[in-house]
Amino acid sequence: MAKWVYTFGDGKAEGASRMRDLLGGKGANLAEMANLGLPVPPGFTITTEVCSFFYANGKNYPVELKAQVEAALLHVAKLTGRGFGDQKTPLLVSVRSGARASMPGMMDTVLNLGLNDVTVEALAKNANDRRFAYDSYRRFIQMYSDVVLGVEHHLFEEILEQFKESKGLLLDTELSADDWQVMIRAYKAKVEQVRGAAFPQDPHEQLWGAIGAVFGSWMNQRAVTYRRLNDIPESWGTAVSVQAMVFGNMGETSATGVAFTRNPSTGAKELYGEFLINAQGEDVVAGIRTPQNITEAARLEAGSDKPSMEMALPAVFAEFVRVTDMLEKHYCDMQDMEFTVERGKLWMLQTRGGKRTAKAALRMAVDMANEGLISREDAVVRIDPASLDQLLHPRLDPAAERKIVATGLPASPGAACGEIVFSSDEAEQWQHAGRKVILVRIETSPEDIHGMHAAQGILTTRGGMTSHAAVVARGMGKPCVSGAGTIRVDYEKGTMSVAGKVFKAGDTITIDGSLGQVIEGTVPMLQPELSGDFAIIMEWADAVRRMGVRANAETEADARMARKFGAEGIGLCRTEHMFFEGDRIVAVREMILADDEAGRRAALAKLLPIQRGDFAALFEVMAGLPVTIRLLDPPLHEFLPHTETEIAEVAAAMNVPAKRLARRAAELHEFNPMLGFRGCRLAIAFPEIAQMQARAIFEGAVEAKKKTGVTPLPEIMVPLIVTKVELDLIKADIDAMAAAVAAETGETIVYTVGTMIELPRACLQADQIAATAEFFSFGTNDLTQTCLGISRDDAGSFLGAYEARGILPTDPFVSIDQVGVGELVEIGIARGRKVRPDIKLGICGEHGGDPASIAFFEKVGLTYISCSPFRVPIARLSAAQAALGRKAAGQA
Ligand code: PEP
Ligand code: MG
């Protein structure tokens, strides 16, 4: 018989942490904690397979499920000495979701389940606390009605607010047992009024309602969005964990909280977290009451006047420290934990690998390797390459003036500047319109996920370091300031007022998420520092990496940046990019629009010294590292003059009538410029262009060598080859020019000639081409276009629909289509190597900076990858991880 339910509790569990796919992260780790003998309230987990069954079978359950849940409930009842639905000693449970990958706040939870008009009295009697019992019951009605019955949360909040106002009360804690009884009656009446049916009293009906709601929440909008943003497959499904309730709201020796074994913002090795005395879980996250610090050190640093857990509950604190140490050592990673203290007894409700900022991830990985907890290779594997992006971007210049208007909590580091928006929909719309925005909310909820994604940064006026805004922003790597309480936000008026000033939507502010500052206007930013833990991880990565990493760069500034980021040469210098700047474009247009060779040569003569200077500068910066220079590959349409002014400008420079020039430009118009007169076709039709470029390269190399004493390593690359003959013709010109420059200058420059492999025919003909080409660089941008027949410039209009419907798993221009384009690359490699076994093989399309594609390039054995300078560290780390991945799989 299929097993759908796994129990845990009392130092034993049927599951374990390795069963994460089946039990979800939460269920697997609860089982693991139980197996470790930690204090975990007993319970059971309904597997993710039930979720898959549920959606595959019209929202029905497997037939055996009911009996297995009943048996598991009896098991929990036995361990707790209570009975589910028992009128004297009732067992109450929590029902929570838990997918394979953690999806914080995305799905639903129900606490205190099993309470009804009868069991609440038993709870009051057994706990000897009526107020606690009625408070729990009203929370249950509110949560269950919201999650399971669809009666919105705020309807209950309004009833409570009105009641408090009528009695002149401020805090929930001021309500008495009798007050809560009044609330319970009002809440139940509300449910009946909205639904036309009474609040369910049968605990079994309640339980199945909650289980159905949790499975149902797998497909709610926010979960769907979260999965899309985090590449979590829908097929994984969620598990449901049902667990005996423990109560953090049983008075002053009870509490509930969340904690991390290390600081998730900075990575410092210190227990870090927040808790609330006499409260239930949702109070901490909801940000309604300001949480207290766990350790005394953190309290002192925060300057809080509320006692830390270390002082308020010293025995519990000591036990908690023991448990958290044990968990971190057991999992060899920073843990994010939820706990509850019920009348002085600690209970662990959850543990999982904690989300952290990129900065913290680096520090923790380095520290843990130095502590001997993990190896250096583990440390390298731990870092998400994409997260490095956060560190490679600018921060606020500390020397610049800051007009600070408010200070909140430093919830997620980094800085951002943008226009204020007050709603997530607006954030998304403005971002689509190309504007940079800061999302300003009183607090965020999972419904704001798309707005947070669209914004540069997030500012909230309420909520702590573990509030929704803080947790989600850290996960996204966006700066966030939370709980900036002096700011008043008025959604209706679309204003935010603070320090006597009123800001409207569209006004610019800056936030510093590392310091918690809200600043008026724009503040200058500084380039990132690439030292410390970052440099150490990069060094460890380089030690295990096989592939070389180069950069795509044309300008001196980009080349310098690339070296700073650790590039080992230039893998692609797109010479056409050098032609856009300033007055060069006029000379380039002259060259393109010239009617004859004489006209072209005149224009080329103007370009030669400019190109020579450009190349000399690149060789100088790259000092002895290889520099791959690609001959001109201009999609013509990008260069043709369009406006009348542009035409007049070129006509004047060429001394021809504007009309004639306009006619020539019209003649050169192409319907499919990407498949038109570009790449080596230009050098075939007009050899003098490639000749000029070759001369500029060799003369530039001689110039750089004279200046620096270091011999440059030019690699001349011919674009868009479809046949060996093209390459032979162009190579002959290059070789001739090398000889000419050597004769003129007396300096012989060693160089190689190779080709882009970026058309399917070139992959198939790679053996022929390799007879001439000394290296290949796969141009996966064009190869993707031509293999899939999708123009990269026009793909936007339909690729989204293809991804949404699962036809393509990801955008093939971002992550290489391994089975299609990838196979062409493999064919090109195999055929090229057959003729020239030591051929140097690179890739310089956008995929050179994409971690998943890099893993593929490692597998197929490329020599190096080349990507934009900002992505070089990401590529170095990804290449190291890919090499380690193959080693672990026994393939390298
Ligand atoms: C490519 O096609 O992958 C490439 C690097 O060239 P470009 O993007 O300049 O066409
Ligand atoms: Mg190309």
Pocket test for ligand 1, best of 844, 867, 871 (most atoms within 8 A of CB): 844
Task: Return the ligand number nearest the Cα of 720.
Answer: 2
Q: Tell me, what amino acid is at 765? A: Q
Q: What is the pLDDT of residue 811?
A: 84
576 in contact with ligand 1, CB cutoff 6 A? no
Q: What is the pLDDT of residue 654?
A: 81
Q: Please state the rounded mean pLDDT for residues 733-762.
A: 98
**Lowest mean pLDDT, pick from 271-280, 324-333, 458-467, 672-681:** 458-467
**Can you tell me which residue has the tokens 């509930």?**
256
CA 810–ligand 1 middle distance (angstroms): 19
**Can you tell me which residue has the tokens 């662990």?**
348
Task: Using alpha carbons, select from 461, 381, 457 the residue that is nearest to residue 416.
Answer: 457
What percent of the chain stands above pLDDT 90?
71
Task: Please give the Cα distance from 622 to 712 (Å, whole number).
Answer: 8
Task: Please give the Cα distance from 397 to 395 (Å, whole number).
Answer: 6
Please check the confidence at residue 287 and state whether its pLDDT lies above 60. Answer: no
Q: What is the pLDDT of residue 290?
A: 76
**Lowest mean pLDDT, pick from 337-341, 575-579, 715-719, 879-883:** 575-579
User: Which of 680, 844, 847, 867 is labelled catalytic?
Assistant: 844
- pLDDT tens per residue, range 15-45: 999 999 999 999 999 999 999 999 999 999 9
Task: Please give the Cα distance from 133 to 152 (Å, whole number).
Answer: 23
**Lowest mean pLDDT, pick from 552-556, 567-571, 833-837, 873-877:** 552-556
574 in contact with ligand 1, CB cutoff 6 A? yes
Question: From residue 514, how far is each of 293, 396, 402, 477, 685 by CA, in Å?
Answer: 19, 10, 14, 12, 57
Answer positive or negative: Cα dihedral of 564, 567, 570, 571.
Answer: negative
**Closest ligand 1 atom to 844 CA:** 5
Q: Is 655 helix (H, G, I), strand (E, B) or coil?
A: coil
- pLDDT tens per residue, range 226-268: 888 788 888 899 999 999 999 998 889 999 999 999 999 889 9
User: Which of 468, 573, 763, 867 is labelled catalytic?
Assistant: 468
Q: Is 431 helix (H, G, I), strand (E, B) or coil?
A: helix
**Closest ligand 1 atom to 780 CA:** 3
Q: Is 267 left (phi over 0), alpha (psi -120 to 50) or beta?
A: left
How many C-beta atoms lie closer than 10 Å to residue 702's C-beta? 22
Task: Using alpha carbons, select from 687, 690, 681 the residue that is nearest to residue 636.
Answer: 681
H or E segment and range at residue 266: none
CA 758–ligand 2 middle distance (angstroms): 6
**Closest ligand 1 atom to 633 CA:** 9
577 in contact with ligand 1, CB cutoff 6 A? no
Q: Which two tokens stand for residue 570?
A: 């230039």
| Residue 58 backbone dihedrals phi, psi, to 5 degrees | 55, 40
Name the closest-CA residue to atom 3, ligand 1: 779
**Can you tell me which residue has the tokens 């448990």?**
323
- pLDDT tens per residue, range 196-207: 999 999 999 999
Name the closest-CA residue to atom 1, ligand 1: 779
Q: Tell me, what amino acid is at 709? A: G
Answer positive or negative: Cα dihedral of 805, 808, 812, 814.
Answer: positive
pLDDT tier at 314 (50, 70, 90 boundaries)?
A: very high
Whether 844 is catalytic: yes
Q: Which two tokens stand for residue 224?
A: 């769907």
Name the closest-CA residue to atom 4, ligand 1: 779
573 contacts 627 by C-beta, under 8 angstroms: yes
Question: From residue 265, how far is each of 191, 414, 519 by CA, in Å?
Answer: 42, 11, 21
Please check the confidence at residue 516 and state whether its pLDDT lies above 70. Answer: yes
pLDDT tier at 806 (50, 70, 90 boundaries)?
A: confident
Q: Tell me, what amino acid is at 832? A: G
Task: Please give the Cα distance from 891 to 860 (Å, whole number).
Answer: 11
Whether 867 is catalytic: no
- Spell out the alpha helix ranges (H) of 296-454: 296-302, 309-312, 314-331, 358-371, 376-382, 424-432, 449-454
Pocket test for ligand 1, best of 674, 678, 758 (most atoms within 8 A of CB): 758
CA 609–ligand 2 middle distance (angstroms): 26
CA 782–ligand 2 middle distance (angstroms): 5
Residue predicted with more confidence, 549 or 591: 549
Task: Please give the Cα distance from 440 to 334 (Å, whole number).
Answer: 31
Going by the DSSP 8-state scheme, the letter that residue 628 receives in this structure is E
- pLDDT tens per residue, range 836-862: 999 999 999 989 999 999 999 999 999
DSSP 664-679: HHHHT--SSGGGSS-T
What percent of the chain stands above pLDDT 70?
97
CA 635–ligand 2 middle distance (angstroms): 10
Task: Return the ligand number nearest the Cα of 843.
Answer: 1
780 in contact with ligand 1, CB cutoff 6 A? yes
Task: Please give the Cα distance from 362 to 383 (Å, whole number).
Answer: 7
249 in contact with ligand 1, CB cutoff 6 A? no
pTM of the entire predicted model: 0.80
681 in contact with ligand 1, CB cutoff 6 A? no
- pLDDT tens per residue, range 120-138: 999 999 988 999 999 999 9
366 in contact with ligand 1, CB cutoff 6 A? no
- pLDDT tens per residue, range 679-708: 999 999 999 999 999 999 999 999 999 999
**Closest ligand 1 atom to 845 CA:** 3
554 in contact with ligand 1, CB cutoff 6 A? no
758 in contact with ligand 1, CB cutoff 6 A? yes
Q: What is the pLDDT of residue 638?
A: 72
Q: Is 811 helix (H, G, I), strand (E, B) or coil?
A: coil
Q: Is 649 helix (H, G, I), strand (E, B) or coil?
A: helix
Task: Please give the Cα distance from 354 to 352 (Å, whole number).
Answer: 6
